[in-house]
Amino acid sequence: MSNRSRWLARAMAVLSVMGMGTAVGSSQDSNLAQTPPMGWNSWNHFGCKVTDADVRGAADAIATNGMKQAGYIYVNVDDCWQGKRDEHGMIQPNEKFPDMKALGDYIHSKGLKFGIYSSPGPETCAKHEGSYGHEEDDARQYAAWGVDYLKYDWCSASRVYKPEEMRAVYRKMAEALHRTGRPMVLSLCQYGLESVWMWGAAIGGNLWRTTEDISDHWDRMSDIGFEQNGLEKYAGPGHWNDPDMLEVGNGHMNHDEYLTHMSLWCLLAAPLLAGNDLSKMTPETLAILTNPEVVAVDQDSRGIQGHRVWEEGPYEIWTKPLADGSTAVGLFNRGEDAEDIKLDFSAVGVPASASVRDLWGQKDLGNFTGSFTAKVPRHGVVLVKVK
């Protein structure tokens, strides 16, 4: 059975349990997000200062710096692009975005895809025009602009909807997008409320936030990332748990901490949406974002989300089975001193004798019997493939 067939069977089983009938939306009737979406989002670095020029600059960077070849294809405008509605109820951009159709065309001309942002409430998080009462209008407008991805952020929806209405609210936009005939990835951004991982796929979502917002700080990033254990059964091709966007390169974590961030997100099969200023990126940051062997863990065709197999104090081992029969393993040190961490092969279902490859170093470490031990730096990781 193919990955897609397995996913459809799982989705229908979920629907049967929930009594929700036939699923609708882009994730159920297309090949969207068969691996976790990769790209860039404006929010983490630019916030509400983002402009058309910033977004075009990000597209230019992705198309020329190796990120496109690594798999980063979505160029997503977050909040603060919105202006007012016209006399027909159609949303218009503000003065910072003079022509959204032209922006989408520019992004597409680079061989990339165009993402946008809204809220099911009357206002977005930054108090701009939301989609409340205009879901069909906005879906048609996005399609006309050539949008390929919608991040739909709960925000002010809590003022007009009850928590138990959340599923129907997100389903409404999924159906509106579906009716346009244009495939658009639907990202549910509602901070893990109402156990979204249990129903996000059934209403047409391709990914859903499992946490509140990330920030570019070790404590926040690590708390969010390491909390994902146990959600792996809800992820797979076409539908992904989303622990929020990447902070790699924004400057408030050190190199080892960014390696931990990237390694953990890849083991989690999380969407990889860079959140830094791509036009001013250091070679070190680019190397983290584009390491082909690390990205391959995230994009593995089996679509399995990794999980924790061992924990002792601040030390953790996470594992993710891969399509080639090997296993990606992350040895994480959340402590304050470098420490030797031992991987017992039996803990990850690996035979007594196995080869080990360092994915960040892109080098073979040799054959080992029974176990593998590595010294892991403070707040750092050793990410290996065991076969």
- Which range, 4-13, 29-38, 305-314, has the best average confidence (pLDDT)? 305-314
For the question of residue 153 being annotated catalytic, the response is yes
Considering only CA atoms, which of 291, 338, 300 is closest in space to residue 319? 300
pLDDT at 82 exceeding the cut of 70:
yes
Q: What is the pLDDT of residues 277-331, one digit of tens each?
A: 999 999 999 999 999 999 999 999 999 999 999 999 999 999 999 999 999 999 9
Mean pLDDT computed over 261-266:
99
CA distances from 222 to 217, 227, 253, 314 (A): 8, 8, 11, 11
pLDDT at 351 exceeding the cut of 90:
no
Q: Enumerate domains of the chain plus CATH numbers.
A: 3-298 (3.20.20.70), 307-386 (2.60.40.1180)
Lowest mean pLDDT among 7-21, 43-57, 146-160, 334-348: 7-21
Q: What is the pLDDT of residue 30?
A: 64
pLDDT at 17 exceeding the cut of 80:
no
pTM of the prediction?
0.92
pLDDT at 352 exceeding the cut of 70:
yes
Compute the distance between CA of residue 189 and CA of residue 187 in angstroms, rounded to an integer.
Answer: 6
pLDDT at 14 exceeding the cut of 90:
no
Question: DSSP letter string over 9-60?
Answer: HHHHHHHHHHT--S--SGGGSS-TTSS--EEEESHHHHGGG--HHHHHHHHH
Q: What is the pLDDT of residues 205-216, one digit of tens each?
A: 999 999 999 999
Compute the CA torsion angle 30, 265, 209, 142 (nearest 10 deg).
-50
Selected catalytic residue, list 52, 153, 244, 277: 153
Q: What is the pLDDT of residues 111-142, one digit of tens each?
A: 999 999 999 999 999 999 999 999 999 999 99
pLDDT: is 16 or 208 the higher one?
208
Selected catalytic residue, list 60, 213, 344, 358: 213
Compute the distance between CA of residue 55 and CA of residue 185 in angstroms, rounded to an integer.
Answer: 19
Average pLDDT, the chain: 93
- Give the number of other CB atoms < 10 A from CB of residue 325: 7
Q: What is the pLDDT of residue 84?
A: 97
User: Rg of the Cα trace of the chain?
Assistant: 21
Compute the distance between CA of residue 266 and CA of residue 208 in angstroms, rounded to an integer.
Answer: 16
